[in-house]
C-alpha cells in the first residue's frame, strides 16, 4: 500500500540518535497534489476525503490521466524497492504487481 504517516520513520536512517541519511526522495516533492497517493483513489472508486478537503468533487479527463500515470509511477517505485527493502511478506510486492497490471491495461486500452 502507499506510504501513510506511520511509514515516515522508514525513510530516515538514524545512527546514535541522529539522522544519518534519507531515502525515498520521491516522497519529498513539491508538485501536483494529484501525485500524492492520499489525494487520489488508487482503486478508482471516487474522490478521496483528502481531495474533498481541497474542494474536489470530480476529476477532469486530464486529471484522471495524470492520476493514472502517477499511480503507474508509484507502482514502479513500490515494485522496485521490494527487492532492497526485504519486506517480511509479499503484500507490498503483490499490491505493486496489481497496480502495475491495472495501469498497463489502462495504457493499452487508451
Q: What is the pLDDT of residues 74-91, one digit of tens each?
A: 889 889 988 888 888 999
Whether 48 is covered by a domain: the verdict is yes
Whether 50 is covered by a domain: the verdict is yes
Whether 23 is covered by a domain: the verdict is no
pLDDT at 4: 38
Q: What pTM value is reported for the model?
A: 0.68
State which residues of the chain have pLDDT below 50.
Answer: 1-8
Taking alpha carbons only, the member of 38, 40, 32 closest to residue 3 is: 38
Calpha distance 110→107 (Å, rounded) = 5
Whether 46 is covered by a domain: the verdict is yes
Residues of the domain holding 40: 31-109
Count of structural domains, the chain: 1
DSSP at 12 = E
Amino acid at each position: 500500500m502507499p506510504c501513510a504517516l506511520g511509514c515516515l520513520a522508514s525513510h530516515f536512517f538514524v545512527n546514535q540518535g541522529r539522522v544519518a541519511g534519507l531515502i525515498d526522495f520521491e516522497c519529498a516533492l513539491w508538485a501536483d497534489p494529484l501525485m500524492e497517493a492520499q489525494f487520489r483513489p488508487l482503486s478508482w472508486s471516487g474522490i478521496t476525503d483528502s481531495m474533498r478537503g481541497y474542494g474536489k468533487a470530480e476529476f477532469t479527463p486530464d486529471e484522471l490521466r495524470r492520476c493514472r500515470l502517477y499511480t503507474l509511477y508509484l507502482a514502479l517505485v513500490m515494485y522496485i524497492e521490494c527487492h532492497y527493502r526485504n519486506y517480511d511478506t509479499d503484500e507490498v510486492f503483490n499490491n505493486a504487481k496489481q497496480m502495475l497490471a491495472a495501469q498497463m491495461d489502462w495504457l493499452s486500452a487508451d
